[in-house]
Structure 1
Amino acid sequence: MTTSTESLHIVCPHCHTTNRVRVADMRSSPDCGQCHQSLFDGHPVALDDASFDKHIGRSQRPVLVDFWAPWCGPCRMMAPAYEQAAALLEPQVRLAKLNTEEAQGIAARFNIRSIPTLALFVGGKEVARQAGAFRSAADIAQWARSHL
């Protein structure tokens, strides 16, 4: 159980610096100590080869990753709902997107066979996966919460 004096490591979605944030401050829009931008802005963070492991491995909040590609019709269809889901789930869950065309090594490492695929990571480990597009932000949020 965490108390209000305990802190969590949160990776900045802008500069990818790991920040220590008091649990009591999580809902008050904490800023990054390095770049001074908001740690939670209600939008998915775009990950790449360099930032993926930082967010998955260092953040002490669950991270929901959308594995997608620009040519994928269902990915483009789900994108607005995924964007809206970030506002519903933050700061409890960080939403992120990984373009599988640009980060093929990571997609292969996680055996991504179809896109879009959502994978939920907790403590650096994948705990749930769903292939296929969701239709609404509420469906995405409900699915993520059901696996926490």
Structure 2
Amino acid sequence: MTTTESRIVVCPSCTALNRVPVARLGAGGTCGKCGSPLFTGKPLDLTTASFDAHAAKGDLPLLVDFWASWCGPCRQMAPAFAAAATQLEPHMRLGKLDTEAEQAIAGRYGIRSIPTMILLRKGREIARQSGVMPPNVIVQWARQSVGG
């Protein structure tokens, strides 16, 4: 008997859970609830309402860029993080969390300096990196951190 391995993918638009066969992750796909694309090739803007769904309910690792609009290095890293999303999706979800707007989540993770990236799997932190990094270094660090 063969089974098709699948992943639970959280919709970036409505946070509905979608079961997607691993072999079809690269095909994109749309949400079964709202019809939006499951992958956009760019980081999501995470809020209190969406953070926990993406961090804990989905099967994809979540790479979060903790940033603030007043932070020069954060603005400098934003294009690099966006470029990394095009390389890391669909096997990893990337999201940006504004530490000013979402202070409770930033506090939960003990964010003391920004930009800080935290890689989460099933709600648990598996890696952390602070400071500005170019896209290729973000991609390499993220892939090594998840073991592939």
Cross-structure match for 1:101: 100
Amino acid at match of 1:7: S
Shift of 1:130: 0.5
Give the Cα–Cα distance (whole angstroms) in 2 for the partners of residues 104 and 97 of structure 1: 13
Deviates more, 1:14-23 or 1:92-101: 14-23
In the alignment, which residue of structure 2 is the partner of 1:140?
Answer: 138
Q: How does 1:1-148 map to 2 (within 5 A)?
A: 5-134=4-133, 136-148=134-146
Give the fraction of aligned pairs with identical amino acids, expressed as a percent: 52
- TM-score norm. by structure 2 comes to 0.94
1:14: Cα distance to partner?
1.3
Name stretches of at least 5 consecutive residues in structure 2 with no aligned partner: none
RMSD over equivalenced CA pairs, Å:
1.2
Which amino acid in 1 is paired with 2:135? A
Paired residues of 1:4 and 1:24 also in contact (CA < 8 A):
no
- Give the distance between the partners of 1:28 and 1:78, measured in 2 at CA: 28
User: Following the alignment from structure 1 to structure 2, what is the Cα–Cα distance between the partners of residues 36 and 24?
Assistant: 20
Q: What do residues 90-135 of structure 1 show as CA deviations (whole Å, max 9, x unaligned)?
A: 011110000000000000011000000000001221000011111x
| 8 Å contact kept, 1:47–1:98 | yes
For structure 1, the residue ranges without an aligned partner over 5 or more in a row are none
Q: Which runs of 4+ in 1 moved over 2 A?
A: none
Partner Cα separation in structure 2 for residue 86 and residue 64 of structure 1: 9
State the Cα distance separating 1:4 from its structure 2 match: 6.8
Normalization by structure 1: what TM-score?
0.94
Structure 1: distance between partners of 2:130 and 2:101: 19
Any idea what SS the aligned residue of 2:70 has?
coil
Please state how far the C-alpha of 1:6 moved relative to its aligned partner.
Answer: 2.2
